[in-house]
């Protein structure tokens, strides 16, 4: 018997099912998402990033921040992301496709050498902290394995008695020289991007935690504080 037609059919079937599964089905499920109105606030979600933050997205990508930082908070039951306070939604479901509508490219990340940054804009609002941390992570997080990014900053000498600029990240008054560290436009844009990272809006796919009045189903159930109340200021990956 000539096996040709059978091989052809089997190959066709394999390719067709994977195309249906990996292309057509996701497109039907999430392919046509649009901005939605948040009922409580009347705001549209997700919002487009303001211009500076959009430029910062490019700095984030160009410097490979996504190699060590993810931007996807796994739902309750998959790891301990919610317990770590990385999720900002009062829901067992955290990151959803809707969150990435205006991200191009989407930088989900694959490894977590550092903490997830999905909600860093809520967790760390101190710009000077963020700038100092980028200039040299050791300044803010002793023992950090994050690389320093001094090339995003300028060193500017200060004459004796000269006042530092208002946007100086920090000033060094050494025995030999006085100088200040100023952020470049790239550093400012990157910090604006980090500030724009937050996914706390409650959308259709993120139902609230089941009512706590209901009798506990199992005594082994993990105790989870409401995510919004437990967002720490600094939570290095453990
Ligand atoms: C080699 C891995 C690595 C790379 C690359 C890296 N980071 Fe980090 N990052 C870390 C680690 C580890 C920590 C936790 C310790 C600390 O705070 O420094 C961290 C912490 C942070 C924090 C604080 C998070 C929090 O929850 O407090 C921010 C913000 C951050 N990184 C931003 C960036 C940005 C922006 C870039 C790209 C310019 C970057 N990181 C590149 C490893 C990395």
CB 222 within 8 A of CB 209: no
Range of weakest confidence among 71-85, 137-151, 182-196, 218-232: 218-232
CA 74 – ligand 1 centroid, Å = 19
Ligand 1, closest atom to CA 59? 38
Q: Over the stretch 13-53, which tens digit does the pLDDT of each residue have?
A: 999 999 999 999 999 988 888 999 988 888 899 999 999 99
CA distances from 129 to 62, 81, 126, 132 (A): 22, 23, 5, 5
Q: Over the stretch 186-237, which tens digit does the pLDDT of each residue have?
A: 999 999 999 999 999 999 889 988 876 655 444 454 444 444 444 444 444 4
Greater confidence, 55 or 233?
55
What residues does ligand 1 touch, defined as CB less than 6 Å away?
Answer: 60, 63-65, 67-69, 113-115, 120, 123-124, 130, 137, 141, 144-147, 149, 190, 194, 234-236
Average pLDDT of the chain is: 88
Distance CA 74, CA 25 (A): 22
Average of pLDDT values for 107-120? 94
Note the pLDDT of residue 214.
Answer: 52
């Amino acid at each position: 018997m000539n096996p040709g037609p059978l091989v052809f059919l089997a190959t066709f079937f394999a390719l067709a099912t994977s195309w249906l599964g990996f292309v057509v089905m996701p497109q039907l499920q999430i392919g046509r998402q649009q901005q939605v109105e948040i009922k409580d606030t009347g705001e549209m979600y997700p919002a487009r990033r303001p211009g500076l933050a959009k430029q910062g997205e490019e700095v984030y990508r160009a410097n490979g921040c996504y190699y060590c930082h993810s931007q996807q908070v796994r739902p309750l039951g998959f790891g301990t992301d919610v317990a770590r306070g990385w999720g900002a939604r009062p829901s067992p479901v955290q990151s959803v496709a809707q969150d990435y509508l205006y991200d191009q490219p989407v930088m989900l990340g694959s490894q977590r050498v550092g903490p997830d940054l999905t909600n860093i804009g809520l967790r760390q609002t101190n710009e000077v902290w963020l700038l100092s941390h980028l200039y040299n992570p050791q300044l803010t997080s002793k023992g950090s394995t994050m690389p320093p990014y001094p090339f995003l900053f300028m060193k500017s000498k200060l004459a004796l008695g000269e006042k530092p600029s208002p946007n100086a990240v920090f000033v060094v008054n050494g025995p030999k020289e006085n100088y200040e560290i100023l952020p470049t436009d790239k550093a400012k844009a990157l910090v604006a991007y980090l500030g724009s990272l937050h996914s706390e809006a409650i959308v259709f796919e993120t139902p609230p935690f089941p009512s706590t009045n209901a009798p506990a189903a199992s005594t082994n159930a993990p105790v989870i504080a409401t995510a919004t109340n437990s967002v720490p200021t600094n939570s290095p990956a453990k």
